[in-house]
């Protein structure tokens, strides 16, 4: 029996509907949450991603500020931009789009962002709060995965969960969020021995290694929930033939376009899993939704006294 498809677009729309109420309440207090996106240079993928974030802010009625310094900018010049955004009262959230050009000290830039405005959840202070079980602003993709699991009524407490990948952006915070939700978590990576056997023991599998279709049916226990965080573009015809061997419509689409977007999970896993996220249309929409949620949360936390005063008046 094919897996239940966990539709990220539908869950995103639920979250946006809830956020609209929060934003309206803030507006009644004279507050309009604002998100500043810093996009350095002309990276095409980054431009598309930032434009989708800005579109989401406009859809929800948030203020958006798009800062686009040239790719030749120095670390000190970019630090000055971040420090200016830290001081601005109309900016509640700051995101610095990665990757940054090679001459930029990315860690120095990310650590310069005010933790109260760190809507990407990358600042060491916010990471430390997550480790301590007192999360404030958490990385958007893992936060989105938790929303998918909870809103899809996937049992987390007591479940065995395998997280494939140990990045600071997804793997590590994902493992922490699952542990705080009382799952038993195994973090897998490129050096894990007997990876298929290890992953096969999991009730919940989070694939975030950035390797095209690497999670195959032999990794997955029947009925397991599979969350595919990967986004990989396939342009090689032989690879596409292999991946879409049992999906003639996807293969025909590849042949027509010359490319296809595939996750870290092989499409055939849908015949084994109990529930699975599609790519695209699974985790991706939730990443942006949680960025919006973090921006609203940052506004409420930063301006709490003002909101309380407005409510009393």
Instruction: Share the mean pLDDT of the chain.
Output: 94
Of 132, 134, 103, 91, the C-alpha closest to 40 is 103
Tokens describing residue 146:
């938790």
Q: What is the CATH number of domain 142-285?
A: 3.40.50.720
The domain ranges of the chain are 32-115, 142-285
Instruction: Output the pLDDT for position 312.
Output: 43
- pLDDT tens digits, one per residue of 245-296: 999 999 999 999 999 999 999 999 999 999 999 999 999 999 999 999 999 9
Q: Give CA–CA dist 290/120, Å, rounded.
A: 9
DSSP assignments along 116-135, one per residue = GG-TT--SHHHHHHHHTT--
Q: pLDDT-based confidence at 45, cuts 50/70/90? A: confident
Is 97 among the residues known to form the active site?
Answer: yes
The CA dihedral of 242, 244, 248, 252, to the nearest 10 degrees, is -90
Instruction: Output the pLDDT for position 306.
Output: 57
Is 239 among the residues known to form the active site?
Answer: no
Q: Give CA–CA dist 18/11, Å, rounded.
A: 11
Q: Give CA–CA dist 87/213, Å, rounded.
A: 44
Same fold for the pair 32-115 and 142-285: yes
Point out the catalytic residue in the list 92, 114, 118, 120: 120
* Other CB atoms within 10 A of residue 90 CB: 12
Contact 117, 136 (CB under 8 A): no
Of 294, 295, 288, the C-alpha closest to 12 is 288
Of 104, 55, 101, 59, the C-alpha closest to 77 is 104
Inter-axis angle of helices 283-302 and 8-28, to 10 degrees? Answer: 20
Sole residue written with tokens 């930032």: 50
- pLDDT tens digits, one per residue of 214-234: 999 999 999 999 999 999 999
The domain 32-115 is placed in CATH, from the list 3.40.50.2300, 3.30.1330.40, 3.30.70.20, 3.40.50.10860, at 3.40.50.10860
Tokens describing residue 28:
């009644």
Stated pTM of the model = 0.93
Is 172 among the residues known to form the active site?
Answer: no
Specify whether the backbone of 100 is left (phi greater than 0), alpha (psi in -120 to 50) or beta.
Answer: beta
Point out the catalytic residue in the list 92, 97, 172, 264: 97
- pLDDT tens digits, one per residue of 61-106: 999 999 999 999 999 999 999 999 999 999 999 999 999 999 999 9
pLDDT for 313 beyond 60: no
The CA dihedral of 102, 106, 107, 112, to the nearest 10 degrees, is 150
Q: Give CA–CA dist 126/212, Å, rounded.
A: 31
* Other CB atoms within 10 A of residue 99 CB: 12
Q: Given strand 184-188, what is the order of strands in its sheet?
A: 4-5, 275-276, 225-228, 204-207, 160-164, 184-188
Point out the catalytic residue in the list 53, 114, 118, 264: 53
Contact 181, 156 (CB under 8 A): yes
pLDDT for 305 beyond 70: no
Instruction: Collapse the DSSP code of 193 into the 3-class scheme (helix H, G, I; strand E, B; otherwise coil) and give the result.
Output: coil
């Amino acid at each position: 029996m094919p897996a239940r498809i966990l539709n990220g677009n539908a869950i995103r729309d639920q979250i946006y509907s809830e956020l609209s109420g929060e934003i309206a309440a803030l507006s009644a207090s004279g507050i309009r949450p604002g998100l500043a996106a810093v996009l350095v240079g002309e990276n095409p993928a980054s431009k598309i991603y930032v434009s989708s974030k800005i579109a989401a802010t406009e859809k929800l009625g948030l203020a958006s500020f798009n800062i686009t310094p040239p790719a030749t900018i120095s670390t000190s010049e970019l630090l000055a931009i971040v420090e200016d955004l830290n001081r601005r009262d109309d900016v509640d959230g700051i995101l610095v789009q990665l990757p940054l050009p090679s001459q930029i000290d990315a860690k120095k830039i990310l650590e310069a962002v005010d933790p109260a405005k760190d809507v990407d959840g990358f600042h060491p202070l916010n990471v430390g709060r997550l480790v301590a079980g007192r999360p404030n602003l958490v990385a958007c993709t893992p936060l989105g995965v938790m929303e998918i699991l909870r809103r899809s009524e996937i049992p987390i407490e007591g479940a065995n969960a395998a997280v494939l990948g140990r990045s600071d952006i997804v793997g590590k915070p994902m493992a922490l969020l699952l542990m705080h939700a009382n799952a038993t978590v195994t973090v897998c990576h490129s050096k894990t021995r007997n990876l298929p056997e290890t992953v096969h023991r999991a009730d919940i599998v989070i694939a975030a290694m950035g390797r095209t279709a690497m999670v195959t049916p032999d990794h997955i226990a029947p009925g397991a929930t599979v969350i595919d965080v990967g986004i990989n573009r396939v342009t090689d015809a032989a690879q596409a033939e292999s991946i879409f061997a049992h999906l003639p419509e996807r293969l025909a689409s590849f042949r027509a376009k010359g490319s296809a977007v595939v996750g870290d999970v092989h499409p055939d896993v849908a015949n084994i899993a109990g529930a699975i996220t599609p790519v695209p249309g699974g985790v991706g929409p939730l990443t942006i939704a949680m960025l919006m949620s973090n921006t609203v949360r940052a506004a409420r936390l930063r301006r709490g006294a003002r909101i309380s005063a407005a409510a009393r008046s």
